């Protein structure tokens, strides 16, 4: 017994949806060179409470965050044992998303480089990266203030 026309269309639509969706997901990952993106939620006051439990071992490590429902991305970097830096990971030259390297951030578009505090190391970008104030409770929570 074959499947009905209605079932066939339903199944085909499901499969087609999957095929269409996959490249979108791959393209999204490609924007940040395959980096894992952690979705976070901001309060109405623009405050993010981020639990870093088990995430950062060494200074200089970074995590790419995306604020839910906004598309806003933040590169959270462990500065030292007691503090974190939250940078806007968008190149100040022409707006490409930066790639986190071990000790710097690199622009894949025209080669600008920024240190882990957001200062320009190499042009053509001339303006430092934007940043957000952070607080670390010394245990597991980093608070990021978007305003």
Contact between 141 and 41 under an 8 Å Cβ cutoff? The reply is no
142's CB contacts (< 8 A; 6+ apart) are 49, 50, 52, 76, 84, 86, 134, 135, 136
Tell the smallest beta-carbon distance from residue 116 to ligand FES (Å): 17
Measured from the CB atom, is 71 or 95 closer to ligand FES?
Answer: 95
Tell the smallest beta-carbon distance from residue 107 to ligand FES (Å): 3
Contact between 76 and 50 under an 8 Å Cβ cutoff? The reply is yes
Measured from the CB atom, is 54 or 95 closer to ligand FES?
Answer: 95
Tell the smallest beta-carbon distance from residue 122 to ligand FES (Å): 9
Contact residues for ligand FES, defined by CB under 6 A? 91, 93-96, 107, 109-112, 124-125
Measured from the CB atom, is 42 or 74 closer to ligand FES?
Answer: 74
Measured from the CB atom, is 46 or 111 closer to ligand FES?
Answer: 111
DSSP secondary structure letters along 83-127: EEEEE--B-TTT-PBPEE-SSSEE-TTT--EE-TTS-EEESS--S
- The structure tokens listed for 47 are 């405050």
Tell the smallest beta-carbon distance from residue 121 to ligand FES (Å): 12
């Amino acid at each position: 017994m074959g499947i009905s026309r209605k079932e066939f269309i339903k199944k085909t639509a499901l499969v087609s949806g999957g095929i269409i969706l996959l490249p979108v997901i791959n393209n999204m990952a490609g924007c940040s060179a395959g980096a894992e993106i952690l979705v976070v939620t901001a309060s109405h006051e623009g405050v993010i409470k981020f639990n870093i439990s088990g995430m950062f071992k060494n200074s200089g490590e970074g995590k790419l965050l995306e604020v839910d429902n906004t598309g806003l991305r933040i590169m959270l970097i462990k500065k030292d044992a007691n503090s974190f830096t939250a940078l806007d990971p968008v190149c100040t030259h022409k707006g490409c998303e930066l790639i986190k390297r071990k000790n710097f951030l690199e622009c894949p578009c025209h080669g600008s480089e920024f240190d882990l505090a957001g200062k320009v190391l190499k042009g053509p970008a001339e303006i430092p990266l934007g940043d957000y104030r952070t607080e670390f409770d010394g245990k597991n929570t980093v608070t990021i203030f978007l305003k």
